[in-house]
Structure formats: C-alpha cells, structure tokens
Amino acid sequence: MLNITNSVKEEELTVALEGRLDTTTAPQLEDSLHASLEGTEKLVFDLEKLQYISSAGLRVLLSAQKMMNKKSGMVIRNASDEVREIFEVTGFSDILTIED
C-alpha cells in the first residue's frame, strides 16, 4: 500500500510517500506525477515514511528525474537508512540529489 500526499508551494511540488513503492504501487505514483507536474519547476520527494522501494519504484523516480532535468530539478528528502542503502547499492545515489 502507498499513500501519496501532494503539496504545492508556488512552482514547487512536494510529494510525500508513505508505505511501499513497488511493482503494485509504482503505476499509482506514475499516474499521480503525470497529473501533477504541469507548471511544476521543482519536484521534492519526501520519503520520511517510505518503508521500501523496489526496482519499479526506482524506475518511476528516474523517469521523474529525467522530466525535471529540463526544469529546476528534483530532490529526495528524509530517506530512511533502508531506502538510502537501496539508492547506494543500485547507484541511484550518484544520479539523484539526496538531502538529509
């Protein structure tokens, strides 16, 4: 199960994820992003309550990163140690901007 909470401040969209981002829930996030990115210059993912991310979830983040590279960019915030480890092992920590 994945809960997605969007909040917009000017041209910055913050997407807070809670639960698991996996093969079952990745399409839900993808649909939400496509509906929300219009007019967004900066995308922030708040992963404080994200428990797990699979390769399908990583693919959605990578796709979002590619879209946001044409704008002001994308940032990952509040990733747990478990999620950070997945980013490290997969090499995504070199691709994504990850803040504490």
Q: What is the pLDDT of residues 36-75, one digit of tens each?
A: 988 899 999 999 999 999 999 999 999 999 999 989 999 9
Residue 19 Cα distances to 24, 28, 29, 52, angstroms: 12, 13, 12, 7
pTM recorded for the entire structure: 0.94
What per-residue confidence (pLDDT) applies to 11?
Answer: 92
CB 96 within 8 A of CB 66: no
What per-residue confidence (pLDDT) applies to 38?
Answer: 85
What is the average pLDDT value for the chain, to the nearest integer?
95
Q: Does domain 2-99 have CATH number 3.30.470.20?
A: no
Q: Residue 29 and residue 17: Cα distance in Å, rounded?
A: 9
pLDDT band at 25 (very low <50, low <70, confident <90, very high): very high
Q: What are phi and psi of 78, to 5 degrees?
A: 60, 30
In the chain the beta strands, taken as DSSP E runs, fall at: 2-9, 12-21, 42-53, 73-77, 98-99
